[in-house]
Amino acid sequence: MISSNLHKINQDIEENCKLSGRKTDEIILIGASKAQTIESIKEAYESGLTHFGENYLQEAEEKIENLSKDLVWHYIGSIQSRKAKRIAEIFDWVHTVDSVKVAMKLNNARPKSRGFLNVCLQLNIDNEESKSGLDLKEIDSFVEQTRDLENLKIRGLMVIPKPREALGQQKEIFGIVKNIFLELNDKGNNFDTLSMGMSSDYAAAIQEGATMVRVGTGIFGPRK
Ligand SMILES: *Cc1c(COP(=O)(O)O)cnc(C)c1O
């Protein structure tokens, strides 16, 4: 089942790339594997998936320890500041950075031997009060204050928009994120990553410029 789901999603990625004049190798598919077993991740890996996203540190530690070193691990959960150190030690990417304080903790804890920690700023694109993420007006100051953190590489933006049913509405919000991304680069940043799109809206995200899509149930089925 995982293998046929992956096949279908890769076909979708290809189709949506064609529709929008993009190349499939511009897009990295991340398997959002929270609450999925080590066996399921192994099965996905054997079907060609190499990037995996985890939300809970303890759960992730066990998986990372027990799976092939070829896997690339993305932290996509909210970051409690006391867990930042361990996150910086074991992950390759962190998508959910939304404060200078956490960025500094990650930077200080990143082992030199592991090279840069790749980081995305999480943007609270729908201005939801309960949600994590920086507000748009806070981005410039964040970028300014994290510029000299030598163990982090700020790669771009991550968003989790609130659910929208219609493709047109999904495209509209992702298009807004893309424009923010382009404006940031016009201002002198060198971002190359837009992490947006999940099982229900990755097609729209790809059409609007996503470079990483995070798909959970679409690959693994319902979470246990
Ligand atoms: C769980 C999760 C996903 C995947 O969600 P699905 O709807 O199962 O595809 C993507 N991104 C984040 C941050 C998540 O927590």
The whole-number average pLDDT for the span 75-103 is 97
- Atom number, ligand 1, closest to the C-alpha of residue 95: 13
Indicate if the pLDDT at residue 8 is higher than 90: yes
Ligand 1 neighbourhood includes 215 CB (under 6 angstroms): yes
Question: What's residue 129's pLDDT?
Answer: 86
pLDDT digits (tens, 9 = 90+) for 94-113: 999 999 999 999 999 999 99
Mean per-residue pLDDT over the chain, rounded: 97
- Atom number, ligand 1, closest to the C-alpha of residue 158: 13
Residue of minimum CA distance from atom 5 in ligand 1: 216
pLDDT digits (tens, 9 = 90+) for 29-48: 999 999 999 999 999 999 99
pTM: 0.98
Q: How confident is the model at residue 130 (pLDDT cuts 50, 70, 90)?
A: confident
Indicate if the pLDDT at residue 204 is higher than 90: yes
Question: What's residue 195's pLDDT?
Answer: 98
Measuring CA to CA, which residue among 133, 88, 94 is closest to residue 112?
88
- The 3-state secondary structure of 48-79 reads CCCEEEECCHHHHHHHHHHCCCCCEEEECCCC
The CA 187 to ligand 1 mean position distance, Å, reads 31
